[in-house]
Structure 1
Amino acid sequence: MGDLGDVVYKPRNGHGLVLFPLPLQGHINSMLQLANILYSQGFSITVIHTEFNSPSLSKFPHFTFRSIPDGLSGEGHSSISDMGILTLLSALNVNCVEPFRMCLAETLQSNSDASKDRIACLISDSVWHFSQRIADELNIRRMELRTTSISSFSGFSALLSLHKRGYFPLQDMKLEEPPMELWPLRLKDLPILETENPEELYRLLESMVKELKGCSGLISNSFEELEPAKLNESGGMEVPVPVFSIGPFHKYFPASSSSLLKQDKSSLLWLDKQAPNSVLYVSFGSLASIDAAQFEEIASGLLESEQPFLWVVRPGLVHGLDLLPGRFMGAVSGRGLIVQWAPQQEVLAHPSVGGFWSHCGWNSTLESICEGVPMICMPCFGDQRVNARFISHIWRIGLQLEGKAQRGDIRNAIRRLMMSEEGEEIRGRMRNLKAKVDYCVKPEGSSYDALQSLTTHLLSF
């Protein structure tokens, strides 16, 4: 995604679009990247966003932004963090219904003037499970943006099916089972969110599946060579609407950050001093959290690997630990760098980076593929488990750490990826996949063609 100067606007018969991102880092990134792509195709863009985690408006002067109250903006950061992801999503889906309805209605009315672009379509994040109902009420077409992989849709659908068949709660003895309808996933790979109220999760998933069936199409931040159309049918659940796989979104324009956290650019200067392909980049995203015991194992495994590393330790990553132990910081000196947040796309593109230890969020997975950097997978929740399984066992471009990995497991995984013949084979497969993604967004590539089809589809509304 790039600045306005990188995005060429082609006027298109007065068609406008309203985009409604979910206010979480990865979801905001994807929606604003999509906004730039569609703007380049000639659509004027209005973004409706919550006050909570509001995007940086100054970086997108070519869009119109409208803010709605969300019932959370008065809460302290710690109280929101304590909610848990599922409770946060449920609260947003209750609090934002009426504010969104009013804002969308006002936007449609204000754009009905002949001098303005007519709003042709609403594009909302798949987690906003009330948005189809409101689109129907206001007589506007809606498309859905799925910021996770297409494969994860099958995982969510299978989760609902297995729940109805009494598979839950899962027993330890069942976790390794690979039911036929789940292949290549095991039960332990299903996209579950940790919650004390599992019925709340199933209600959310049911609402999301229902919303998808009523929309006019699905926009996917993926590409055909990575997730062929046949994957839409895995889990016995075919996506019931047209799918436009136009990703990876960030490949269309030079990177421009929409990060909610301040990036530490000093990491790039440190990388400049390291040998090619020598550094392991470690980051578990903007939402994951680990306990102090797991942190100790990770830190010890990094040190025992004897491999240079760049580690993102953001505030809130480690429960019960406010400061890194002095003994660890002393041991790191000279061989590793710890920062609170890094410019990830630039880090992964740096020639010194030879591996990425990741939580396997979908944006991070795509960014690693686009730069040809093999992965170590440590999924934390949700679709990350699905992604990790595909990375390690289907695409075979990384290794997976299972469960609460111990320092010895971590040390060995790092050495396998960074120093062994097996690691070189993984790196070769990743290079081949990178070549495919480089081609897919060029003329005659699969994502390029899908974008032309999406543009035609939107212009038909």
Structure 2
Amino acid sequence: MSSPHIIVVPLPIAGHVNPLVQFSAKLVKNGMRVSFIVADYYYNRVMSAIAAEIQGEEDCHVGLQSQVKLHSIPDGLGPEDDKNDMPKLFLSTSASWPAMLEKIIQEINGSDREGKVTAMIADLHMGWALEVADKMGIKGSIFWPSSAAFLAVEFSIPNLIDQKVIDNDGVPIGRQTFQLSPSMIRMDTEHLPWNLNNDLVTRKKVFDFFFNIGRALKLTNWWLCNTSSELEPAALTLLPNLVPIGPLMTPYKKASRQHLSEEGLSCLNWLDQQPARSVIYVAFGSLTFVEYKQFQELALGLELTRKPYLWVVPSSVITSTKFSNIYPDGFNNSLRKIVGWAPQQMVLSHPTIACFVTHCGWNSIVEGLCNGVPLLCWPFVAEQFYAKTYVSDVWKIGLAFESCENGIVSGGEIKNKLEQLVSNEDMRERCSKLGEMTMKSIQGDGQSSNNISKFIQWLKE
């Protein structure tokens, strides 16, 4: 009998691609073939990431890389469009990808070498892909890479309309906070998932897109989520059909560095030279843009701590500013290292990391806590505010910044919060304990581990 052949369809944004890369490595380890759909501009990055993930998985060998094949598709955006504009990506991929995906599946099924596609795993925001799978007689499953709390908001749209929290177009009926259940975190209407763009027409299109996600869910009984019952018991109770399989993380303490880029390797080599628990790690993901004035205050605050820090500043931040130098005058701290990209899980597992200044993307939060690294929260949009509430109010494993009246977080506030966080041993201990509990869920007889085993068995049926 030939191996099951799984086609994986992520939303082409790093925070959605990376968890499915990690999950694909687990599938390969369990005897699957994987065809991974990727936007053309992500091809090389995903190829390297898959090689590193397979190397990191215990009992895997390099030959298993041949069991993963990437298929690149144009993202449907024009050359003038921002590749990180999520509303545009939602709309462009749902319009242009279905026909191309169907063609790829037909080509795979017509090949003697690859074996026919037997199942599909699609990102929830690529749920239309399950309609393609259903049309072609392929069983499918949905994968959600973020928190169950965020997903619960999308599933609760009809209730939010009935309770007059939002109108029929998703517009908040006045700013207010709400709870989806008595045990859930409080949420703010200003941070609803579809409020990703100031253009009201685009907001309405994205709201309708989320509202119609339910069609895809009716095509499968497998709703997978990169979370665990240790992290989100209330949200998982609210969504009983959601199957936790997280945290999807590779044990990078054992992983080889051989697949790293020169820049990534330089980060780890620099960390090797620092004292234990001394380094502040600062990274805001691939989508976050920090305004010039705020950027300068952040640089100032880091300098004021007089501690070593590793700061990820993507090249897009530098090229997007009209100023010739985005750093403050006199900014020359010899203790710092600034890079355009860092191998984040490897960085966070390094013993020299003292704390993590993060935008509160779900992957970053989970990677931080699973490595026992206290978090300093700086959310920018939507789900990041929910994650911040978890960190500072529910789990109590980190702090959050307070901004001035003009919305700027001052250099002094940054310095003070960093000093508070680094010196708080109780918070570090809570973070370490929660991380250990969460990691146990994907090991041995843990709930997430058992759920993955059941899902793999279903794939093989």
Normalised TM-score (structure 2): 0.84
Instruction: Find the aligned partners of 2:427 and 2:267 in 1 and give their Cα distance.
Output: 26
| Higher mean C-alpha deviation, range 205-214 or range 128-137 | 205-214
Pairwise CA distance, 1:359: 1.0
Pairwise CA RMSD of aligned residues? 3.0
| Higher mean C-alpha deviation, range 178-187 or range 437-446 | 178-187
Report if the CA contact (8 A) 2:249-2:367 is conserved. no
Q: What corresponds to 1:156 in structure 2?
A: 154
Report if the CA contact (8 A) 2:299-2:328 is conserved. no
Q: Describe the SS at the equivalent of 1:265.
A: helix
Q: Deviations over 1:239-294 (max 9, x none)?
A: 5x451424324349955799999744322233233222121100001111121122
Matches within 5 A, 1:333-412: 333-402=333-402, 404=407, 405-412=409-416
Report if the CA contact (8 A) 2:296-2:326 is conserved. no
| Higher mean C-alpha deviation, range 435-444 or range 29-38 | 435-444
Q: Which amino acid aligns with 1:27?
A: H
1:116 to 1:169, Cα distance in 2 relative to 1, 3 A: closer
Instruction: Find the aligned partners of 2:253 and 2:361 in 1 and give their Cα distance.
Output: 21
Q: Which amino acid aligns with 2:6?
A: L
Matches within 5 A, 1:56-455: 56-57=46-47, 59=51, 60-72=65-77, 75-76=78-79, 79-81=80-82, 84-110=85-111, 117-158=115-156, 161-162=159-160, 165=164, 167=166, 169-170=171-172, 174-175=175-176, 177-179=177-179, 181=181, 183-187=184-188, 188-191=190-193, 192-196=195-199, 197-228=202-233, 230-234=234-238, 238=239, 241=241, 243-251=243-251, 255=255, 263-317=263-317, 319-321=320-322, 323-325=324-326, 327-328=328-329, 330-402=330-402, 404=407, 405-419=409-423, 423-455=424-456
Q: Which amino acid aligns with 1:206?
A: F
Report if the CA contact (8 A) 1:285-1:359 is conserved. yes
1:425 to 1:158, Cα distance in 2 relative to 1, 3 A: farther
Report if the CA contact (8 A) 2:108-2:116 is conserved. no
Q: Describe the SS at the equivalent of 2:82.
A: helix
Q: What corresponds to 2:35 in structure 1?
A: 46
Instruction: Find the aligned partners of 1:137 and 1:416 in 2 and give their Cα distance.
Output: 56
Report if the CA contact (8 A) 2:312-2:339 is conserved. yes
Instruction: Find the aligned partners of 1:326 and 1:376 in 2 and give their Cα distance.
Output: 22
Instruction: Find the aligned partners of 1:310 and 1:148 in 2 and give their Cα distance.
Output: 25
Report if the CA contact (8 A) 1:309-1:336 is conserved. yes
Report if the CA contact (8 A) 2:299-2:327 is conserved. no
Identity of aligned residues (%): 26
Report if the CA contact (8 A) 2:245-2:442 is conserved. no
Pairwise CA distance, 1:368: 0.8
Q: What corresponds to 1:4 in structure 2?
A: none
Q: Deviations over 1:39-63 (max 9, x none)?
A: 1112222223332422444744331
1:242 to 1:169, Cα distance in 2 relative to 1, 3 A: closer
Q: Describe the SS at the equivalent of 2:117.
A: strand
Instruction: Find the aligned partners of 1:231 and 1:243 in 2 and give their Cα distance.
Output: 12
Instruction: Find the aligned partners of 1:14 and 1:82 in 2 and give their Cα distance.
Output: 35
Pairwise CA distance, 1:202: 0.5
Instruction: Find the aligned partners of 1:204 and 1:365 in 2 and give their Cα distance.
Output: 27
Q: Which amino acid aligns with 1:48?
A: I
Report if the CA contact (8 A) 1:280-1:354 is conserved. yes
Q: Which amino acid aligns with 2:8?
A: L
Report if the CA contact (8 A) 1:21-1:124 is conserved. yes
Report if the CA contact (8 A) 1:282-1:310 is conserved. yes
1:132 to 1:260, Cα distance in 2 relative to 1, 3 A: farther
Q: Which amino acid aligns with 2:197?
A: E
Pairwise CA distance, 1:323: 5.0
Normalised TM-score (structure 1): 0.84
Report if the CA contact (8 A) 1:146-1:221 is conserved. yes
Q: Describe the SS at the equivalent of 2:334.
A: coil
1:189 to 1:195, Cα distance in 2 relative to 1, 3 A: closer
1:52 to 1:161, Cα distance in 2 relative to 1, 3 A: farther
Pairwise CA distance, 1:205: 1.0
Report if the CA contact (8 A) 2:84-2:287 is conserved. no
Pairwise CA distance, 1:194: 2.7
Q: Deviations over 1:87-134 (max 9, x none)?
A: 122112211121112222332344xx6x86453211111111311211
Q: Which amino acid aligns with 2:196?
A: L
1:346 to 1:411, Cα distance in 2 relative to 1, 3 A: same
1:435 to 1:57, Cα distance in 2 relative to 1, 3 A: closer
Q: Which amino acid aligns with 1:348?
A: L
Q: Which amino acid aligns with 2:299?
A: A
Report if the CA contact (8 A) 2:257-2:265 is conserved. no
| Higher mean C-alpha deviation, range 92-101 or range 254-263 | 254-263
| Higher mean C-alpha deviation, range 160-169 or range 337-346 | 160-169
Report if the CA contact (8 A) 1:80-1:88 is conserved. no
Pairwise CA distance, 1:390: 1.0
Q: Deviations over 1:410-445 (max 9, x none)?
A: 2221111012xxx22210101101221342232222
Q: What corresponds to 2:23 in structure 1?
A: 34
Q: How many residues align?
A: 431
